[in-house]
Each structure stands twice: as structure tokens, then as C-alpha cells.
Amino acid sequence: MRKAQLYINGTWIEEPRAAEPVKNPYTGEVIGEQQLATPEDVDRALACAFEAKKEIARIPSYERARILKRASMLLEERKETFARWISEELGKPLKNTLDEVSRSIETLEQSAEEAKRLFGETIPGDASARGTKAVAVTFRVPVGVVAAITPFNAPLNLICHKVGPAFAAGNAVVLKPAPQTPLIAAELLKLLLEAGLPPRAINMVLGGAEVGQQIVKDDRVNVISFTGGVVASRNICALAGMKKVLLELGGNAATIVHEDADLKRAAALCAKTGYSNSGQSCISVQRIYVHESVVEPFTDLLKREVEALKVGDPLLPDTDVGCMVDERAADRVMSWIDEAIASGATLVCGGKRRGATVEPTVLFNPPKRSKVVCEEVFGPVVSVIPYRTIDEAIAETNDSAFGLQAGLFTNRMDIVYQMAEALEVGGVVINGTSNFRLDHWPYGGVKNSGIGREGPRYAIEEMTEMKMIVWQFPQ
Ligand code: NAD
């Protein structure tokens, strides 16, 4: 049985603590145990990060880059093992977890590369009459302590997206991973230490919201980098006080399929990216707006693709859809499906569950105010909704509290420009679905989908301050 221990001040905590079993959500079997942090543990972790921040900032960037590169290479060597571990802990199919590990390798590698690119600029003073004999030079300097609070759904890559850039920028980190997936966080931490991460560069505390809240409130933290849901994020903003808060939140992502689209390709991609990790992705395809002239053939094609998905044991290599994170999540999704059907939606396929597994479900035309449309489903449920005009598709997509990414299938350039300009989201994917992300691209949303951008280069910008040195020359 694996164990997730607290890691504070360069030491794995061996003294007894309250502990919780970690279960495989597909089999219900206990696969490990996590220690739970006490308020004193959290305080010691914060104190360590605060004291260590100067020592971490002094590590030259070539050395920080070398450590992160080594970590990415170690992860490459252990790819299958890490993928299997995530599948066991989360019920995410091996197909998806192999992909997540590959992405984590890239995230660490890109963080290593970006560690060497903390550039500033030289700004001549003579744009002002008072500055004809002056010049300014800017540098990026670490903020000090970064608090990294992460969710369960991509439990490896989302930690890499915080720890990689934070260390690349020269910061000390306090990490609080999701309570559902502490084991993989502990394995990553061991790997980072093996790669040479200085022991005091990171502390890990385990537990739920109360542990996160204690970190968020603490004035020794300079930047909070949070990925999770909107409820937690509102609480974080209320507690954080004078700190920079970066928020990567959820969405009810839309993908638009216009009348000229390649329907077969659009249906295949919607099926592939609407149900991966049982829809537990912040940009999972949730609402598909389809032009009324092609909505019937599109729905038929989508149904065929979705019914062909293999649902089952996450550890089998050909499984497309495993289970949700726990039975409570499956209960919630089932009640949302029932609500949509009761209020007028047609069930195209799916709609059943077994344990924590919810069958991939397609709904046709649920009312606008049903939860499957206007809230974040975060489950394997996709709704097909017809539209008449481009303006209507834009208005419906934007009629959301969220705005992370959107997909658009069309080959008409005029529509691409019109939509790309009008859609209220952080990114528009043309001839693809909302659910496509490369880890070096700027990623983030507007409205309730978040504040700030992730991706090593952009996260480093957020996790550093600009410092200016000014030279005045004799007249
Ligand atoms: P969650 O908000 O419940 O928890 C996320 C983390 O925050 C956990 O570690 C949790 O213990 C901690 N937490 C909870 N309440 C807190 C509080 N008040 N103060 C401090 N910490 C607190 O989210 P989840 O259920 O683990 O993950 C699902 C959510 O994450 C979805 O909404 C999903 O869309 C979002 N998500 C966003 C992205 C992105 O990059 N935009 C990526 C993945 C997931």
C-alpha cells in the first residue's frame, strides 16, 4: 500500500497523524493512505518556505533549468508506472493518463527552458525631456513564496504547471494537492527531489479546504496559484487579502458546428474530447451548437461515435471511458441528466450508471436554464442544441457565467473572424473542439473561468515581479 506523507522543511513526516484511506474509485479497493496536516504542520510548511525563499532565489537559472530537465527525463523513464498510478487513484483510463504523463514531461521540460529566459528590457529615458541622460533596465525577480493548490482531475500535470514555473522563476513553494489524489502528488514530489530539487524549495501539506484556507490567509505567501472550482475560488478571493491570486477555474465549454463543417470529423472529435476522463476536464465539450440544417445528420454521427466508446476498467489499454472520481460525483451527474429530461430534453444515448461509472450521454436540446447547459457538468454528458444564425450561436455561447475555451468547425474565414472576435473566452479553437490544449500555450479564461494565464512562460510572468534599475548619467 502506498502512503502520501507530509513533506515539511526538507523532511517526510514520520510521526503519526490522522490518516485517511485512498480508494480506487473503480474497484472500491483501498490502495493507499494519506496523512492529514494539522494547523501546526501548515504553519511550519509556510515558515520553511518563507525562510528558504532567499536561498532558492540565489540558485542560478542554469541550475534550476538542469533540475527541471532532469525531472522531465526521470518522468519519461517512468511514464507507464505514473500513468497506471493515476488510473488507479482516479479511475481515469490509461489512454488518458499516458497522455497526461506525456504532457507533464513537456510541462517540466518547458519550465526548464523558460528558467533561462527571464529577460527584461532596456528603456532609454529620452522619451521624456527629463530623461535625456538616463536609462532604465528591467529584470524579473521571484515573488518569494508561491502557494500551489490543485484539483483532482489532472493530478500530475496541474502540479507540474505550478511547481515547474514557480521553481523555474526561483520561488519556494507550498503545495496542497487535491484530497482525492494525494498519492500521485507524493510520487511526483519524490521524483522532483531525486532530480535535485533542493529539499527546502518545496513543502507539501495534505488535507481539504481548511488546509487550503490556512495557506491562502497567510501573509508569508506572495502568490496563490489555484486551479479548481468557482465556489472555492470565491472563498479564496475573500480570504487572500493583499496577494496576487491566479485562478484557473471551470467552464461549460461550447463547440459550434456550422453548416459547412466536416460533420464526420466534428462528431468524431466531439465524442473523443467530450468524454475523456469522464468529462472531468475544465474544457470538456459540454454544449454543441449545431446549425439547424445539419443538426440531424450530426446528431446521428455523434450517437454512433459515442456508442462506440469503450466503457470499463480504467486499467485496460483500450478503455475510452472509466469512472468518475467517486460515487457522489456520479449521483450528481445522474440527477442533472434526469432534470434535463424532465424539463424537455431528449435522451439520445447513455443516461445510465453503475457505481462511479456514468455511461457517455448525449442529450438533444435541453432547455437553456437546465443545469447541463448553464452549469459546469464535469461529467460525461454532452448536449446538442440547434441554432439558426451565426449571431444566435454567438449569443448562446456567450450566455454563460464562464468563458474558458470554445471550439468552432467551419472553413469560412469570415465566420472565423466574426466568431473569434465575439466569443467571450480565453481561446477559440478553429476546426477543433473546446478541449484542445498544448502546455506551452497561454491557457486561462474570462468571467468565472479565472484570472491570469497558465503555461510555463505565462505562469513565470505571473510568479515574478518586474524590478527596474535606473542609471542617471552626468549632464
Ligand atoms: P475544488 O475547487 O473543489 O478543489 C480544488 C482544490 O482546492 C483542492 O485541493 C481543494 O482541497 C482546495 N480547496 C477547496 N476549497 C478551498 C478553499 N475554500 N480554500 C482553499 N483551498 C480550497 O475543485 P475540484 O473538484 O478538485 O476540481 C474540479 C474543478 O477544477 C472544476 O471546476 C474544473 O473545471 C476545475 N479545473 C480547472 C482547470 C483549469 O486549468 N482552468 C483545470 C482542471 C480543473
> Which residue blocks in 78-149 are alpha helix, DSSP H?
79-90, 94-115
pLDDT of residue 475: 78
Residues 91 and 27: their CA atoms lie apart, in Å, by 9
Cα 158 to middle of ligand 1, angstroms: 11
CB atoms within 10 A of CB 30: 11
Q: For the residues of 330-382, what is the DSSP string, one character each?
A: HHHHHHHHHHHHHTTPEEEE---EETTEE--EEEES--TTSHHHHS---SSEE
Do residues 73 and 178 share a domain? Answer: yes
Do residues 346 and 409 share a domain? Answer: yes
Q: Print the domain residue range for 219.
A: 2-249+449-469
Closest ligand 1 atom to 179 CA: 11
pLDDT of residue 1: 87
Write out the catalytic residue numbers: 248
Count of structural domains, the chain: 2
In a domain, 444, yes or no: no
In a domain, 118, yes or no: yes
pLDDT in tens, 170-196: 999 999 999 999 999 999 999 999 999
Closest ligand 1 atom to 152 CA: 26
pLDDT of residue 316: 98
Q: Chain-wide mean pLDDT for the chain?
A: 98
Residue with cell 477543433: 432
Cα 87 to middle of ligand 1, angstroms: 19
C-alpha cell recorded at residue 366: 435541453
In a domain, 80, yes or no: yes
pLDDT of residue 468: 98
Do residues 292 and 350 share a domain? Answer: yes
Residues 316 and 93: their CA atoms lie apart, in Å, by 7
Query: Are the CB atoms for 219 and 49 separated by under 8 Å?
Result: no
**CATH number of the domain to which 263 belongs:** 3.40.309.10
Confidence of residue 325 (pLDDT cuts 50, 70, 90): very high
Q: How far is CA 248 from the centre of its chain?
A: 6
How, if at all, do strands 11-12 and 7-8 pair?
Answer: antiparallel
Do residues 237 and 304 share a domain? Answer: no
pLDDT of residue 4: 98
Q: Closest Cα to atom 35, ligand 1: which residue?
A: 228
In a domain, 278, yes or no: yes
Above 90 in pLDDT, residue 124? yes
Above 90 in pLDDT, residue 358? yes
**CATH number of the domain to which 158 belongs:** 3.40.605.10
Confidence of residue 445 (pLDDT cuts 50, 70, 90): very high
In a domain, 460, yes or no: yes
Query: Are the CB atoms for 254 and 289 separated by under 8 Å?
Result: yes
Q: What percent of the chain has pLDDT over 90?
A: 100
The residue-averaged pLDDT of 185-209 equals 98
Cα 332 to middle of ligand 1, angstroms: 17
Residue 248 beta carbon below 6 angstroms from any ligand 1 atom: yes
